[in-house]
Structure 1
Amino acid sequence: MQREVRMAGKTVVVSFAGQRRQVLAGTTVWEFFREFWGEVPLDVLAALVNRRMVMLDFPLRGLQVELEAVRAGSRLGETVLRRSAVLLLLAAAAELYPESRLVVGQSLGGGYFFSWHSQLPLTQDVVTSLAREMERMCQEDVPLTRSVITLEEAEAAFRARGEASKLELLATHRSSTVPVVSCGNFLDIAHGPVAPSAGRVRGWDLALYEDGILLRFARNGKQELLPLWPQPKLFATYRETRQWNEAVGIAHVGSLNRACLSGEISEIIRIAEGFHEKKIAQIADAIAARPQARVVLVAGPSASGKTTFIKRLGIQLRVCGLHPVGVSLDNYFVDRDKTPLDEEGKPDYESIEALDLPLFNEHLKALLEGKTVAVPKYDFVRGKRAEPERWSTLKLEPGQVLLIEGIHALNPRLTEAVAEESKFRIFISALTQLTLDDHNRIFTSDSRLLRRIVRDRLFRGHPAVRTLEMWPGVRRGERRWIFPFQEQADVMFNSALVYEPAVLKIFAERFLLEVPREHPAYTEAYRLLKFLAWFVPVFQEDVPSTSILREFIGGSAFEY
């Protein structure tokens, strides 16, 4: 642990675990924890100092400090553990295969996929040797060290290592210093805290996957990993998006920033939107090529752009001679007093049991048989189904297809009365393939979170703090009700746009600054602000009115 020179005569009052203790200013978090516990527990990876996440070598300063330990089993602890394991892998690769290059990619199979760039073929022996080197570092408890160097020193170091992606990222860095983290001889830009040493990095595994390496992680602080289930459709979607990015010359944030400053971004926006339109047209063609498919099911997580996607898909279906008819699952909610309860005893509106499945399946079957059904209307004010006289009738005419959107759309139970050949399933999400640089990925869910923060603040009257409070619950629902069924889709649509963080930055930064520093959500707001600081902003004028991004920033040609 690094030690800071104590500030003579100055003390800090530290509030931790319900106690208040006075220590010398400059005392590190590690030293405080060691004095508090006698020995720092192995599952303590980092800390929150006044709700900002820091490494354990962080010096405590100021008059008063609110301190929390970040443990491996927590959500924040998982991010530290993953970042630390990535650092170990990159250090192992630099040590064993210095002429080769690993490039981080998508989240997959409970871990991160890395592509292998080398004249040396990637084999199981290579993967095994990397895992053994990582295990050696863990057994020897090799330190993971953070430091701050000048911008010029950082550029010189990365230039000597041939790290072009990091040099491009630093080209628009406006601080005179750069935080870096090292393990052995490997140096990286520090985009967040890592564990103090390799011995605390547990619950990981390396696997050969397709033509790359999968670094997998355990969850909730456990060391045993779940079985690896192949996800060929998701992997193919990631690959397709990476090819789109390569086609426009944008693989990481540094190249995006360069395009923003050069003026190329206008053309990149048009090409990115063109890829979207082409893909939507291909999906419509696939539906039209299956005349027996009369039910189109669209599922996706929050802020994936489902509403705009469906409207654009509807246009392309009409081009193919089909007429989509929407059916809202909201009208099939059970009465509020019959809604299932979650673990906390609160109504779980995201549960599939919150829907009247028998009635919905009965109506689907009747519609496909050419019958007329009375579609119920749900009264959300009273929390119960409206009177029958307020219901509407629906009949599926020749050339029409039912378009059903919802979080449960791909769950077989929702449409169990419908023959498989009558269904066409679509999964949509914002699966960003943009990375900060070759070694630092962007959380896939961050794209959706930023979209939702902007939309909620602009059009729903919800401040960023409320969106951030709700987000963990939203994510839990997605993991339970959406993602387990994504591989059952006939086709996946990636709604991410390579340029969108640069546009969202203008809105999101302003709204995140409204989050009070004393609020628990400030930890996440602070992280997102640091992330957005790497982007050169882009004004929205070049974003087409039919873009999925318009659903979140306004100015859409569609009505919502």
Structure 2
Amino acid sequence: MKESVLKDCTITFKNGEVIKFPHGTPFYKISKAYKSKSQIVGALVNNKIVSLHERIEDDCTIEFLDINSKTGNKIYLAGLKMIFEYAFKRLFPKATVRYLYSLPRGMVAEIDYEKYLTKTDVAEINKVMSKIVSDNHVIEKLIVANNDGIDYYDKQLKNKVKADNIRNITDPTIVLYRLDDIVNYYYSEMPYSTEVLSKFEIHYLGKNNFVLSWPTETDNGVTKEYVGYDAVIESYKNGKAWLDTMNIPYINDVNREITKGKINNFIKSCELNFNLEINETAKEIAKRGNIKCVMIAGPTSSGKTTVTKRLANYFAIYGLDPIVISLDDYFHERKDNPKDENGEYDFECLQAIDLELLTNEMVKLFNGKQISVPKFNFVTGSKEISGKKIQLKENSIVLFEGLHALNDEALPMISDLIKYKIYVSPYIPLCLDQHNYISLNDLRLIRRIVRDFRTRGYTVNETIKYWTKVRNGEEKHIIPYIHQANKIINTSLPYEVGVLKVFVEPLLYSVPSDSKYYSESRKLLSFLKQFFAINSEYIPNDSILREFIGGAIDD
């Protein structure tokens, strides 16, 4: 018998505590011995994401994951999906659950059933979910051969989409999870048992559509009150309807177009569809006649710059004089920029903008005077003379672009009567399968990794390190204003992950195993396995995707 089987293993926890456990001890049991203020859902073992089902094999460092970490939150969501599906199978055996897309602090699910459910039905669903949590069912981890997984979905469940996804992975084994008689996978590790899944709320939208919400990693374990995001939902529905018309609802359908040599046609269709939406938005605003200011906001890597330029071009077609002003150009000098609670510069807050200067200049502009617009140099951290001078004409329309453009405190002198607010974000309606959609935040992170490397020379580690701060800033300063938008512009292109894959994979593989961001890079690599690569030569030089991969017409 090997010595390693008999010896104790030394575990070093994140807090510096060191404890020995017998070889083969499940991480679930170890987690119970660890004093944590919140429920543990998974672990990072030597920077690798593992489920609590696995067992310790050697000395290691462990960081336990809860709902307040990005990875832990994804594990929590995967568990919620399973108990939601479980509740429906118990109450409505003939119902089919589909998870369509994410919302801020939520996820939209659609139920295919013979009749519309009632509020009484929803209450029963909630009750069954709560009971399975309190009963603490174990979620069993199954490692099966790839071919067995294909046969299970193809022949037993008649689910060709999931079967094809497993075929495309090509790994020798796949991981499934079982909760009683429910077997599924969610491209994530799962909690060991259901007892940790107590924090959720169900919101019924009617017509068998639901929003399932839970605490995000920035909510400190508290499920925030659901705010209706009707415009976001409408944007997703429109995108999904278009993909259904194209007969491309899932990623394996995009892969099919690649293998048939037809991907260039699909790319052209996606680009045309995107341009049509921008055109229709510009036309609607121009027809109103009273709009003098268009406020364009969105999170990082959403494509605000391209949307703003494209809108300006269309406004010119409709006889308007477009003037673009980036709020970023009015940032405080770096030395005057506010700092966060950790003493680090906070570039996400509203106060990072020199509001006094911005207000004074805009008052002059709207009083008919000419102003000089600065250009902020993010390398030196200071405003520079750009030589750009602007003055309003009778047909002028001003496009304000920036993180805080929807926040009325940024430009309080501008009346709501002459404003039109636009929120942009890549709400990609393409799904991996019926139970797994493409994460909005993962897509944006991939976009940002590619752009940061190209334009700033940042490593993956540097981008991911800053990403948490960016996301926290969005939760505070952007998401609360989404519902004010007159229009949501979806900046995703259904084909784009296949293109981004070519650029981002080498960068992700470069992350060393001892990096604290190794697990995040491997998770993204695992996600990218589903997508066939697409050559960027097919991408037009005016595509919004060029904002990230380079080669834009105005680069």
Residue 500 of structure 1: how far off its partner (Å): 0.8
Please, which moves more after superposition, 314-323 or 370-379? 370-379
Q: Which of residues 468, 472, 475 in structure 2 aligns to 1:476?
A: 472
| Aligned partner of residue 413 in structure 1, secondary structure | coil
CA distance in 1, matches of 2:234, 2:31: 46
Verify the 8 A CA contact 1:323 1:399 in the aligned structure 2. yes
Would the alpha carbon gap of residues 304 and 100 (structure 1) be closer, same or farther in structure 2, given more than 3 Å must change?
same
Summarize deviations over 1:388-416 as a string: whole Å, max 9, x none.
Answer: xx875421123332222111111101221
| Structure 2 partner of 1:299 | 297
1:437 Cα deviation (Å)?
1.2
Compared CA separation, residues 40 and 451, structure 1 to 2 (3 A): closer
Native 8 Å contact 2:26 2:55 kept in 1? yes
Contact 1:546/1:556 (<8 A) preserved: yes
Q: Quick one: which of 428, 449, 453 aligns to 1:432?
A: 428
User: What is the CA-CA distance between 1:547 and the residue it aligns to?
Assistant: 0.9
**What's 2:160 paired with?**
164
Q: Deviations over 1:284-309 (max 9, x none)?
A: 11221133222222111111112222
1:325 to 323, 341, 363: 323
Q: TM-score, normalised by structure 2?
A: 0.92
Q: CA deviation at 1:423?
A: 1.8
Cα distance, 1:26–1:218 mapped onto 2, change above 3 Å: same
> Structure 1 213/164 Cα, relative in aligned 2: closer, same or farther at 3 Å?
farther
Q: Deviations over 1:146-189 (max 9, x none)?
A: 11112232223223223332123123121232110111111112
2:82 matches 1:87: yes
Asked whether the 8 Å contact 1:109–1:230 carries over to 2, the reply is no
Task: Give runs of ≥4 in structure 1 deviating > 6 Å.
Answer: 39-42, 379-382
**Aligned counterparts of 2:380 and 2:507: Cα–Cα separation in 1:** 33
Which has the larger displacement, 223-232 or 371-380? 371-380
Kept in 2: contact 1:171–1:254 (CA 8 A): no
The alignment status of 1:414 with 2:410, answered yes or no, reads yes
Query: Which segments of 5 or more consecutive residues in structure 1 lack a partner in the other structure?
Result: none
Q: 1:277: how far off?
A: 0.7
Residue 364 of structure 1, CA deviation: 2.3
Displacement after TM superposition at 1:257 (Å): 2.2
**What secondary structure is seen at the aligned counterpart in 1 of 2:424?**
strand
Aligned to 1:339: 337
What is the CA-CA distance between 1:41 and the residue it aligns to?
7.8
Q: 1:481 & 1:348 partners in 2: Cα distance?
A: 12
> Does the alignment pair 1:535 with 2:531?
yes
Counterpart CA distance in 2 for 1:166 and 1:378 is 48
- Bigger drift between 77-86 and 404-413 goes to 77-86
| Residue identity in the other structure for 1:246 | D
Q: Which structure 2 residue ranges, 5 or more long, are not aligned? A: none
Given the alignment of the two structures, is residue 101 of structure 1 paired with residue 96 of structure 2, yes or no?
yes
Which structure 2 residues correspond to residues 226-375 of structure 1 after superposition, within 5 A?
226-375=224-373
Instruction: Report whether the alignment pairs 1:111 with 2:109.
Output: no
Shift of 1:218: 2.8
Give 1:549's aligned residue: 545
Is the contact between residue 294 and residue 368 of structure 1 (CA under 8 Å) also seen in structure 2?
no
In structure 1, the residue matched to 2:184 is 188
Q: Flag the 1:376–1:139 CA change in 2: closer, same or farther, 3 A.
A: closer
Contact 2:215 2:221 in 1 (8 A): yes
What displacement does 1:382 show?
6.8
Contact 1:202–1:223 (Cα < 8 Å) also in 2: no
**Equivalent AA in structure 1 for residue 304 of structure 2:** K
Cα distance, 1:239 vs structure 2: 1.1
Q: Do residues 68 (structure 1) and 63 (structure 2) align? A: yes
Cα separation, 2, equivalents of 1:96 and 1:458: 52
1:244–1:272 CA contact under 8 A, matched in 2: no
Sort the Cα spacing of 1:262 and 1:527 in 2 relative to 1 into closer, same or farther, 3 A. same
1:554 is displaced (CA, Å) by 1.7
Identity %: 27
Q: Deviations over 1:122-146 (max 9, x none)?
A: 2223322222221221121111111
Contact 2:168 2:529 in 1 (8 A): no
Aligned to 2:511: 515
Partner Cα separation in structure 2 for residue 289 and residue 531 of structure 1: 43
Give the Cα–Cα distance (whole angstroms) in 2 for the partners of residues 19 and 391 of structure 1: 59
Q: Distance in 2 between matches of 1:419 and 1:193?
A: 49
Deviations 1:80-130 (A, max 9, x none): 222111111112222322221111012235221101112122222332222
CA distance in 1, matches of 2:113, 2:536: 40
* Partner residue of 1:78 out of 73, 78, 82: 73
Give 2:486's aligned residue: 490
The 1:237/1:540 distance shift into structure 2, 3 A limit, reads same
Are the equivalent residues in 2 in contact too, given 1:454–1:552 (CA < 8 A)? yes
Q: Distance in 2 between matches of 1:386 and 1:313?
A: 26
Q: TM-score, length-normalised on structure 1?
A: 0.92
Query: Do the aligned residues in 2 keep the contact of 1:146 with 1:190 (CA within 8 Å)?
Result: no
Which letter does structure 1 place at the counterpart of 2:124?
A: S
Whether the 8 Å CA contact 2:348–2:470 is kept in 1: the answer is: no
Give 2:29's aligned amino acid: E
Cα distance change of structure 1 residues 6 and 279 upon mapping to structure 2, 3 Å threshold: farther
What is the CA distance between 1:528 and its match in structure 2?
A: 0.6
C-alpha separation between the residues in 2 aligned to 1:111 and 1:77?
16
Q: Are the structure 2 counterparts of residues 230 and 315 from structure 1 closer, same or farther at C-alpha, using a change threshold of 3 Å?
A: same
- Pick closer, same or farther for the CA change 1:42–1:410 going to 2, 3 Å: closer
Paired residue type of 1:364: M
Is structure 2 residue 438 aligned with structure 1 residue 442? yes
Q: 2:135 aligns with which of 133, 140, 148?
A: 140
The question of whether the paired residues in 1 share the 8 Å contact of 2:104 and 2:479 is answered with no
Segment drifting more, 393-402 vs 46-55: 393-402
| Range with bigger deviation, 207-216 or 21-30 | 21-30
Distance change in 2, residues 1:278/1:377 (3 Å) = closer
Structure-2 residue corresponding to 1:466: 462
Whole-Å separation in 2 of the counterparts to 1:430 and 1:181 = 30
TM superposition shift of 1:484: 1.4
Q: Which amino acid aligns with 1:489?
A: A
Secondary structure of 1:415 counterpart: coil
Contact 2:24 2:56 in 1 (8 A): yes
CA contact (8 A) 1:411 1:485 kept: yes
CA distance in 2, matches of 1:382, 1:283: 37
Moved more, 253-262 or 77-86: 253-262
Looking at structure 2, the residues matched to 499 and 307 of structure 1 have their Cα atoms a distance apart, in angstroms, of 20
